[in-house]
Amino acid sequence: MEKSNIVEFKVSGRYALFSDPINRIGGEKFSYQVPTYQALKGILESVYWKPTLIWVMDEVRIMNLIKTQSQGIRPVDFNGGNTLSIYTYLVNVEYQVRAHFEWNYHRPNLAKDRNENKHYLIAKRMIKAGGRRDVFLGTRECQAYVEPCTFGEGTGAYDDYGDLSFGLMFHGFDYPDEMGKDKLIARLWYPEMKNGYIKFLKPEECTIKRELAAMKPKLFNEMNFSGLKEFAKEGEAIELDSKTL
């Protein structure tokens, strides 16, 4: 990788739920106070992702005051019960995010796709367009909106707040196709916010890890693109027809 390939964007929404797994026992959901590394990575992957690259979150800036709101939710009960759960959301959230991508060297079959300029420019266009897929802040019901920004620009609610620690938090997952191991591993860390900014540890820098399950990486071969050849043939036929008309 010759360049840093840094992208900067703002993500905002009415609600967010970065679920704390400790509080999910019994069907309740309680949000962390700040977004996790994995949640922001998921947002950026919804904006633009290819198996050729891995998004690395560098830093997040908390723009609005951290506020919560509890709601009574009726989750789907397949046993026919009438369950009521309490979900605690963050409300009126806005974050500035800085990230970059690195090559996924555990995908040697995609080495020919390692074109820095191509992926960087596409990512910038997709951020400007609001993403390729729907973007959510933690869970499906928390719709989010992405737009370009200059990281550090504007006034944040915690600009002169000082230091604030959040205790032990979930950081992210080590997936087999990114780490080269046939395991799914959860990472934990101790984040600290300084005047509204949180600098993330890189996945390999996290020392608190827990193995969750055995898992194989997804293979990308002709089976994954089985319908594309037929689609391309149809596209060629349509193009030829349009020229003849």
Per the structure, the complete domain to which residue 163 belongs is given by: 6-244
Q: Is residue 74 part of a domain?
A: yes
pLDDT per position as a tens digit, 76-89: 776 766 678 888 99
Q: Is residue 156 part of a domain?
A: yes
Q: Is residue 21 part of a domain?
A: yes
Q: Is residue 119 part of a domain?
A: yes
Q: Is residue 192 part of a domain?
A: yes
Q: How many domains does the chain have?
A: 1
Give percent of the chain with pLDDT exceeding 70: 86
> Which domain CATH number covers 129?
3.30.70.2660
DSSP string, the chain: --S--EEEEEEEEEEE--B-GGGGGGG-EEB-SS--HHHHHHHHHHHS--TTEEEEEEEEEE-S---EEEEEE----TTS----EEEEEEEEEEEEEEEEEEE-TT-GGGGGG--HHHHHHHHHHHHHHT-SS--BSSSTTSB-EEEE--TT-S--TTTT--EEE--SEEEEEE-HHHHSSSEEEEEEE--EEETTEEEPPPGGG--EEEEEEE-PPPP-SGGGGTTHHHHHHHHHHHHHHHHH-
Q: Is residue 1 part of a domain?
A: no
In this predicted structure, the answer to whether residue 235 has a pLDDT above a threshold of 60 is no
Q: Is residue 35 part of a domain?
A: yes
Q: What's the pTM? A: 0.84
Q: Is residue 90 part of a domain?
A: yes
